[in-house]
Every structure is written in structure tokens, then in C-alpha cells.
Structure 1
Amino acid sequence: MEDEDDLTLDPGFATRFEPVDRGSCQLYLISPPDVGGDFAERLKAALDAGPVAAFQFRVKGVDQHEAARLAEPLRALCAERDVAFVVNDDMSLAKRIGADGVHLGQQDGDPREARALLGPTAQIGVTCHDSRHLAMEAGDAGADYVAFGSFFPTSTKEVRHRPEPSILSWWSRLFELPCVAIGGITPDNGRVLVEAGADFLAVCGGVWNHPDGPAAAVRAFQGILAR
């Protein structure tokens, strides 16, 4: 079997992306399944509580028309605050609403296809689970970041992959392409991922289910992001 550590990238890999300031880690919010009701106000509170780099719109089980209706006010909130608005899975929805990018699971299409549809400035992320091989393939395909996880138990989705934090250290040591840590991350357990080399912590329940509200959660995360 091929050793993943021996895999090589094409010569352009390390030069296609802007270098990452690895002196800090940033917060990447992921929406809860229900973004109706007062969620726009909750998002506004979270974004205004501290620096947030990106927000991912992740809503399942609705048609694209309804998804676009739900996404638009949230996209506007993010645009006002210079927060990247990323659509989960759906390239065509990202194109329709003018999102800043798309996050692709392994079954959601190729980054090259997303780039052709969304253009050269779109932010394209790829879920790579616990696989160095998949991450390197994503980089070769033109992804702007790779995501590893789930690092901790989470109720957001079924967990089948549990990487060790060392995969973040390996990635950040060898490649400039940013890496995102995801899965069950809270202010209490996320520090180990920052220290391992995560460029972003992707957080869902750790913010939206915080007992003191999303603004308090974002403030709490700021305390663990500095390296």
C-alpha cells in the first residue's frame, strides 16, 4: 500500500495559494440546521462579539428556492461585516446567491468544477476527514482550504472519522494551504487543535448551544485562538 507520507503534489501546489499567518487561528462558524425564526439576530450577535472569519450556511432538506430565501439575510449580515459566506455542498446555490464560496464533501463534486462555476476568487473548501491523501488531492485540485475532522464527538452529523490533532501539525508543517479543524469543538477543548496547527476552528454547537448565548461563546473562543 502506498504510504501517504510519501505522496507528492504537483510543483505548483505550494505557490497557488496565499501564505497563511500561522501566528493566529480564526473562528469559522457553521449554521445550525434551523436558521429560521430569530436566527438572523443570533448570528448578528455572534458576529459582533468578536472576529469571525467565515460563516457556512448548512441547511438540509429544503429546496433551493427556500434555501436561497433563508440564506439571503444571513449573507447580507456577513457581507456587512466582511465575513466570508460559504455554502455547504451546493455549488449551484452558491452561484445563485452570490456566496463567497462553497464547502464540498467528498461526494459533492470536484473543486475544479466549483472553480469553473464560481470563478477565480471563490473560496473552495473540501472535507478530508482523517486522510492526508484526500487533503493532498484537494490541494492539487485547487481547493483554498482543507478540513479535517471530526476531532471530538458531535451531534451535528454521524461521525465515522476521528483524526488525531497530529494531522494538523503534519499539514501545517508541510503546506501553506490553510487547514480547518471541525467536529465537536468548544472553548474548553479547542486549544489543543490551535496548538497543533489549525488555521481555523469550525464550530457549530459550541456557539449556538452555548448556555450563555452565541455572543458569549464567540468571546470565549477568542481566548483560545492566539498562539
Structure 2
Amino acid sequence: MATPVQTAREKGRQEKSCRLYLITPPRFEIAPFRDELARALDAGDVAAVQLRLKGTDDDTIRRAAEVLRVVAQDRGVAFLMNDRADLAVETGCDGAHVGREDGDLAAARRLLGPDLTLGATCHDSRHLAMEAAEAGADYVAFGAFFPTGTKETKHRPDPEILTLWSEVTEIPCVAIGGITAENCAPLVRAGADFLAVISAVWNHPDGPAAGVRAMNEAIGAA
């Protein structure tokens, strides 16, 4: 399966496609969640899993990464660390995703080296996305496109930003924020390379595996 870095290199040489990008829930018990993650990844195509544990001590993040990374990587799924490029390298992750207020992109690029994936939050700004690309980001993330209960959001981009970005660069773009199987079609059609989701999978009434299947069916139908 292609990682975000591979997609960046291959975009433009093959037919455009959109893939699922899972972000972990804000809180979970590591052992039970390991099995949930395995079932979710076995249910359908997933490009990447991002470990996102805000307000958690480093030792807990390390333990989670060491357990969950194997689940993802054994299935050919990229495993990314939120914000902490240093811990990403230390724990053998495939890269890191850095928020605008959570770290220096150039410093993260140096820590990760040339081969690991670096993603960057860019809210609703193509200017920020261009800056991120210049700092070495392999993909940029725009959002929140829809209301989300995961975090407070101040930015609400129009799906057109995905189209405009895709027309001027080969760097992949991720759409994030309140995305579900019911509302994702405009983002797919606008040119998103990845749809980042949390609740649509982990809070699906029939379980995470059903959530992955529903998202992939919606992406395919779009």
C-alpha cells in the first residue's frame, strides 16, 4: 500500500484516488485498542494511522506507539506520530504530523530525515500550505470541513481549497474535520488525496470495522 510519501512521488503519474487516513481516539486503553485497530485495518483499505494522544505523558505515548505501530506496519499501513517528530524517530514510526501551534516544521524535517513522512496542519490557508511545502512537508492537511466534537476549531475551509491546491502542486492534501460516510463525497470530488477521520470509524454504531467499510464504500461511490 502506498504511504503519503509514495503518493507524493507518484501523484500525477497515475489516476487520482482518495484513501482513508485514520486518527486514533483521544483516549483509549492500549491492549483493547490494539485489537480494535487490527479489526479496523483488516476491514478495508487504510493508507495511514496517526497516533494522537494530547495531554499524555511521553512514556504512555511510547508504549502506545510500540504496540500499535506493529499492528499498522504489519499490514502495510503507515504509522505516524502526532506532533512529536522526536518520539516518531525513537519508536520506529513512519513519520510525524505537526500542527501549526505544536512544533517547528523545519526542525521536524531535520529530525525525521529525508525518508520519513512529514505532514502539516494548514487549516484553511493555501499560504500556510505553501510554507509547509517549502519547509519539507510531504503532505498538507486542510480543515475542519465540518463541525467536530474532537477539538475546538476556528477554521472552516471551502472544499474548493482542495481543488485549487491539487491544480498547482503534486504534494498530497488531507481533508479533516467531522468527515463521515454521509458527507465526504464533495471532498473526494474536490480532490482530497486522503480523508482523515476519527469518530466516523471509532464511534460507528456497528464497530470500527464497519466504519472503515462504510468510509471506503462512500469514497468509492463519490
For 2:198, the aligned partner's letter is C
What's 1:25 paired with? 18
Structure 1: any 5+ residue segments left out of the alignment? 1-16
Partner-residue secondary structure (3-state), 2:121: strand
Q: Is contact 2:24-2:49 (8 Å) kept? A: yes
RMSD value, Cα = 1.2
- Report the Cα offset of residue 138 of structure 1: 0.6
Partner-residue secondary structure (3-state), 1:156: coil
What's 2:42 paired with? 48
What's 2:111 paired with? 117
Question: What whole-Å deviation, never above 9, does each CA across 1:84-109 have from its counterpart, x for those lacking one?
Answer: 00000111211210110000011222
Q: Is contact 1:194-1:225 (8 Å) kept? A: yes
**Pairwise mapping of residues 146-165 of structure 1 onto structure 2 (< 5 A)?**
146-165=140-159
Q: Is contact 1:128-1:148 (8 Å) kept? A: yes
Q: Is contact 1:19-1:177 (8 Å) kept? A: no
Q: Is contact 2:112-2:118 (8 Å) kept? A: no
Q: Is contact 2:118-2:137 (8 Å) kept? A: yes
**Pairwise mapping of residues 64-103 of structure 1 onto structure 2 (< 5 A)?**
64-103=58-97
Q: Is contact 1:22-1:197 (8 Å) kept? A: no
Q: Is contact 1:126-1:147 (8 Å) kept? A: yes
1:188 and 2:145 matched: no
Which one has a bigger Cα radius of gyration? 1
Structure 2: any 5+ residue segments left out of the alignment? 1-7
Q: Distance in 2 between matches of 1:67 and 1:223?
A: 32
Question: What whole-Å deviation, never above 9, does each CA across 1:98-156 have from its counterpart, x for those lacking one?
Answer: 11000001122233211211211110000000011000111111100000000001011
Question: What whole-Å deviation, never above 9, does each CA across 1:9-30 have from its counterpart, x for those lacking one?
Answer: xxxxxxxx51324521000000
- Report the Cα offset of residue 83 of structure 1: 0.5
* Bigger shift: residues 92-101 or 49-58: 92-101
Q: Distance in 1 between matches of 2:60 and 2:171?
A: 34
TM-score, with structure 1 as normaliser: 0.90
What's 2:4 paired with? none
Q: Distance in 1 between matches of 2:137 and 2:55?
A: 26
Partner-residue secondary structure (3-state), 1:114: helix
For 1:140, the aligned partner's letter is E
* Bigger shift: residues 190-199 or 60-69: 60-69
Q: Distance in 2 between matches of 1:35 and 1:42?
A: 10
Size of the aligned set, in residue pairs, is 211
Q: Distance in 1 between matches of 2:199 and 2:218?
A: 17
Match of 2:102 among 108, 116, 119: 108
Quote the sequence identity (%). Answer: 57
